[in-house]
């Protein structure tokens, strides 16, 4: 057995040995996901499906003002993990709220409406925002309103072209309908799986016994410092 090291935040920590990975935590690993995308694409509808599985087809347009967050647990291959979803209005992208919204995000769910091409073509700007403000966050693409049809529809070819332009930037792509509740839960479960797999991958790179938080680099690792001249 190696040494046990303390970290600044005692709420969540892992002990890892070569053969045994034991979670000793007051709660499961918690991954922050931010909703991004133009106003009206259904971010708050996704948020409400996530939070309490409800949907309202509002006729009067009410944009989200300020920030909202909600957490939910998922079981990934026998391990409990938690996702915390953050929502804000599409109009508030460039506002003062921006930096705290992006800070510490493990992932961004980039949303567009499949019935409105303009909400799709603008996504590269959101990718820039995410890369600049939420360093290391994984980016997932979500086409909402899959129940709708129209002339201004985002086509499969549009999506293929976008995927090609993005290279390796996208960690997952989904098509959902909040109205029909199709694909929403599966999307979050898949995101939880990808995020947790990534965090475990980072941990298993460690050779010695270490205590780290999933998804974080070992900044407090004394053994690494000693190796340095
Ligand atoms: N038909 C259909 N309508 C949807 C769906 N999801 C959301 N809507 C409707 O689209 C409208 C806008 O949804 P919101 O969730 O408020 O959009 P938003 O992205 O949060 O908008 P902002 O807060 O302004 O950025 C609402 O009237 C919703 O009822 C869907 O899957 N299908
Ligand atoms: Mg909203």
Q: Is 17 in the pocket of ligand 1 (CB under 6 A)?
A: no
Choose the most confident range, by mean pLDDT, from 87-91, 94-98, 134-138: 134-138
Residue 111 alpha carbon, nearest atom of ligand 1: 19
Return the number of other C-beta atoms located less than 10 Å from residue 192's C-beta: 24
Rounded Cα distance between 74 and 193, Å, is 9
Gap from CA of 119 to ligand 2 centroid (Å)? 14
Going by C-beta distance under 8 Å and a sequence separation of 6 or more, which residues neighbour residue 145? 41, 42, 113, 114, 115, 177, 178, 179
Ligand nearest to the CA of 49: 1
Gap from CA of 43 to ligand 2 centroid (Å)? 5
pLDDT value at residue 202: 79
Asked, for residue 8, whether it belongs to a domain, the answer is: no
Strand, coil or helix: 71 = strand
Return the number of other C-beta atoms located less than 10 Å from residue 184's C-beta: 21
Asked, for residue 74, whether it belongs to a domain, the answer is: yes
Q: What is the mean pLDDT of residues 106-118?
A: 97
Task: List the domain range (segments joined by +) for residue 78.
Answer: 30-187
Asked, for residue 15, whether it belongs to a domain, the answer is: no
pLDDT value at residue 203: 74
Q: Is 44 in the pocket of ligand 1 (CB under 6 A)?
A: yes
Strand, coil or helix: 53 = coil
Contact indicator for 33, 189 with CB cutoff of 8 Å: no
Q: 148: left (phi > 0), else alpha (psi -120 to 50), else beta?
A: beta
Gap from CA of 3 to ligand 1 centroid (Å)? 51
pLDDT at 10 over 70: no
The number of helices, as runs of H, and strands, as runs of E, in the chain is 7, 8
pLDDT value at residue 115: 97
Ligand nearest to the CA of 147: 1
Q: What is the pLDDT of residues 162-202, one digit of tens each?
A: 999 988 899 999 999 999 999 999 999 999 999 999 988 87
Mutate to test the pocket of ligand 1, among 37, 47, 55, 57 (most ligand atoms within 8 A of CB): 57
Q: pTM for this one?
A: 0.81
Asked, for residue 20, whether it belongs to a domain, the answer is: no
**Two structure tokens written together for 124:** 């590269």
pLDDT value at residue 223: 47
Q: What is the pLDDT of residues 17-72, one digit of tens each?
A: 333 344 444 689 999 999 999 999 999 999 999 999 999 887 666 777 778 899 99
Give 27 or 160, the one with higher predicted confidence. Answer: 160
Q: Is 89 in the pocket of ligand 1 (CB under 6 A)?
A: yes
Continuous segment of H or E residues that includes residue 109: strand 107-113
Asked, for residue 195, whether it belongs to a domain, the answer is: no
Asked, for residue 68, whether it belongs to a domain, the answer is: yes
Asked, for residue 202, whether it belongs to a domain, the answer is: no
We report the CATH number of the domain holding residue 166 as 3.40.50.300
Rounded Cα distance between 183 and 180, Å, is 9
Q: What is the count of structural domains for the chain?
A: 1
Q: Is 147 in the pocket of ligand 1 (CB under 6 A)?
A: yes
Q: What is the pLDDT of residues 208-218, one digit of tens each?
A: 555 555 555 55
Q: In which band, very low, low, confident or very high, does the pLDDT at 93 lie, cut at 50, 70 and 90?
A: low
Asked, for residue 205, whether it belongs to a domain, the answer is: no
pLDDT value at residue 143: 98
Q: Is 41 in the pocket of ligand 1 (CB under 6 A)?
A: yes
Return the number of other C-beta atoms located less than 10 Å from residue 119's C-beta: 24
pLDDT at 149 over 50: yes
Q: What is the mean pLDDT of the chain?
A: 81
pLDDT at 121 over 70: yes
Gap from CA of 26 to ligand 1 centroid (Å)? 36
Contact indicator for 116, 41 with CB cutoff of 8 Å: yes
pLDDT value at residue 90: 63
Rounded Cα distance between 83 and 173, Å, is 18
Rounded Cα distance between 189 and 33, Å, is 13
pLDDT value at residue 100: 81
């Amino acid at each position: 057995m190696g040494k046990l090291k303390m970290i600044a935040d005692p709420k969540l920590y892992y002990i890892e040995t070569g053969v045994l990975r034991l979670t000793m935590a007051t709660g499961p690993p918690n991954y922050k996901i931010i909703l991004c995308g133009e106003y009206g694409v259904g971010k708050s509808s996704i948020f409400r499906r996530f939070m309490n599985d409800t949907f309202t087809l509002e006729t009067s347009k009410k944009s989200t003002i300020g920030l909202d967050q909600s957490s939910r647990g998922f079981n990934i291959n026998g391990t409990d993990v938690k996702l915390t979803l953050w929502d804000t209005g599409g109009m508030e992208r460039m506002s003062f709220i921006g930096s705290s919204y992006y800070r510490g995000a493990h992932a961004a769910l980039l949303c567009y409406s499949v019935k409105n091409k303009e909400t799709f073509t603008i996504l590269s700007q959101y990718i820039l925002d995410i890369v600049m403000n939420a360093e290391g966050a994984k980016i997932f693409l979500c086409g909402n309103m899959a129940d709708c049809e129209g002339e201004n529809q985002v086509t499969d070819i549009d999506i293929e072209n976008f995927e090609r332009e993005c290279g390796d930037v996208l960690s997952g792509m989904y098509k959902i309908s909040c109205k029909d509740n199709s694909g929403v839960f599966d999307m979050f479960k898949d995101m939880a799986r990808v995020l947790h797999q990534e965090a475990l991958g980072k941990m298993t790179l460690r050779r010695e016994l270490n205590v780290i938080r999933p998804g974080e680099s070992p900044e407090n690792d004394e053994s690494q410092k000693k190796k340095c001249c």
